């Protein structure tokens, strides 16, 4: 059965575009909604150009009331009736109460080799640590920030003169390969981890 996928973004949506482009032919999923917490997120226009329904739930309208925001988010999501939710550059932290409603149905892509560097500024932290390998992870979302079972990782080498931007630019294309590959398996109920890249 082809799964319906809602994709949540906050910015340019390059991962959303990669996912949407992959969801064709006999791929076991199709995008049913692209939703952003940012009204002018660049990814919304890209989604509309691809014929994907879009929605906005602007977190600023809820004045820091996280549960009120998430209630509106839930209403917008339920209207699209997704089987799977993909967080793709979605920059709001979701409460355990919200993520529990989508347990086993929500994925996120994070720009580090989890469990290393949960949270922000992952590339700078990898450089500060002197890592020689870095990358990205797709994981199931649970109540812990960047927690949950890792379903795939992609590795890239780190070079001595790398800046955080250099590293981000090397990781991002791997994100675009990894996320569609993991979603394809996940949509078929296959949680076998995927490993991409070499370093």
Buried b (16+ CB within 10 A) or exposed e, 143-165: eeebbbebbbbbbbebeeebeee
Annotated catalytic residue 110: yes
* C-beta of 56 vs 172, nearer to ligand GRF: 172
Q: Smallest gap, in angstroms, from Cβ of residue 117 to ligand GRF?
A: 11
The pair of structure tokens assigned to 47 is 């989604």
Here's the x/- map for ligand GRF, 15-44, by CB under 6 A: it reads as xx----------------------------
* 8 Cβ contact partners less than 8 Å away, ≥ 6 residues apart: 34, 35, 36, 37, 85, 86, 87, 88, 90
* C-beta of 70 vs 175, nearer to ligand GRF: 175
The strand pairing partners of 137, in sequence order, are 110, 153
Q: Smallest gap, in angstroms, from Cβ of residue 26 to ligand GRF?
A: 25
Rule CB under 6 A: choose which of 11, 28, 53, 173 binds ligand GRF: 11
Residue 154 in contact with ligand GRF, rule: CB under 6 A: no
The pair of structure tokens assigned to 107 is 């994925």
Catalytic residues: 110
């Amino acid at each position: 059965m082809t799964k319906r996928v809602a994709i949540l973004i906050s910015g340019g949506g390059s991962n959303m575009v990669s996912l949407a482009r992959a969801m064709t032919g006999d791929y076991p999923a199709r995008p049913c909604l692209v939703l952003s917490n940012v009204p002018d997120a660049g990814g919304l226009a890209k989604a509309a150009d691809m014929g994907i329904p879009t929605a906005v739930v602007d977190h600023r309208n809820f004045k820091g009331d996280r549960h009120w925001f998430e209630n509106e988010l839930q209403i917008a999501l339920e209207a699209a009736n997704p089987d799977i939710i993909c967080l793709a550059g979605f920059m709001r932290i979701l409460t355990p109460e919200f993520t529990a409603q989508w347990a086993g149905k929500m994925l996120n892509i994070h720009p580090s080799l989890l469990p290393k560097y949960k949270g922000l500024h992952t590339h700078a932290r990898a450089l500060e640590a002197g890592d020689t390998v870095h990358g990205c992870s797709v994981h199931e979302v649970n109540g812990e920030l960047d927690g949950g079972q890792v379903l795939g990782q992609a590795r890239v080498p780190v070079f001595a003169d790398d800046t955080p931007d250099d590293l981000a630019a090397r990781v991002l294309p791997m994100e675009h390969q990894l996320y569609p590959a993991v979603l394809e398996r996940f949509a078929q109920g296959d949680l076998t981890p995927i490993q991409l890249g070499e370093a």
